[in-house]
A = this chain, B = another copy of it.
Amino acid sequence: MQNIQAEIIRNDPELDDYSVLELHAPHVAENARPGQFVHIRLNRLQDPLLRRPISIMLAEPHSGTIRLLIKKVGRGTELLCAALEGGTIDLLGPLGNSFPLPPEGKDVLLVGGGVGVAPLIFFADVLQKTPGLRSARGLYGGANENQLAVWTELAGRCEEFYVATEDGSAGEQGLVTDLLAEQLQRGDAQAVYTCGPRPMMAKVAAMCAEASMPCYASLEQWMGCGVGACLGCVVPGTEEAYLRVCRDGPVFPAEKLDWDNVI
């Protein structure tokens, strides 16, 4: 974990609301594990004041670069999407824990919704590159075809890849959880890794619990420090009252979270 001024090598706008940022950040690229995030300062001014947590979508230790997928949802992400190539970004990272690597055995299922696909891409990449690990099947859902940012990045790293959109504009019409239901019925997966909107993850967690399938969810919460100090980013747990997304997470075994109160 370091505080780094990372050079912006590329900023590729994606679809309507997304950008993929490629940054030169060797310390992060070398140390990052899938699921971890960087905590980004948006400018040198005092508004917006706080850093924004962004998952690491890909890390390339050789080139010392990382890639981030940003979705514009407010002022901070808007500033990031407008960041200029050649400029620098002040970030802390890598932060947080990571998706536990699956043991030898059956395939794993990656269930992504919207921008939540980012850490799953990194995870699929590691699974693909690590000899002896089983490969991944990717399930990716969005409202419509314009909400399936960088889907090829996930598809290319998975052995099988399925898409669902609510309006049917791409892949199956329906929810990504419909895709998951089919996969769970196949009975040939060993674990589920998910990141996306909370209602989606809650549903995934419930389906996995039902199917006695291990499930790991990567959570979001508004953050202060990003390093475990302020206790600002908690989500309700089952064993402990509250867990810190920035330090105890962002990845949690689904059963450790009190999903009814994860709002």
- Kindly provide the distance from the CB of A59 to the nearest chain B CB, expressed in whole angstroms: 31
Cβ-closest 7 pairs across A and B = A47-B47, A46-B47, A45-B47, A45-B45, A45-B48, A45-B75, A43-B45
Provide the main secondary structure of the chain A interface: loop
Complex Cα distance, B139 from A254, in Å, reads 76
Chain A contact-residue range equals under 10
This chain: how many copies in the complex? Answer: 2
Measured CB to CB, the residues of A under 8 A from B are: 43, 45-48, 75
Q: How far is the CB of A82 from chain B (nearest CB, A)?
A: 11
- Which of chain B's residues have a CB closer than 8 A to the CB of A48? 45
Task: Output the least CB separation between A44 and chain B (Å).
Answer: 9
Q: Which of A43, A45, A75 has the most CB of B within 10 A?
A: A45
Chain B, residue nearest A44 (CB): B75
* Shortest beta-carbon distance from A124 to chain B in Å: 37
Q: Give min CB distance, A47 to chain B, whole Å.
A: 4
Task: Tell me, in angstroms, the Cα distance from A75 to B46 when the chains sit together.
Answer: 11
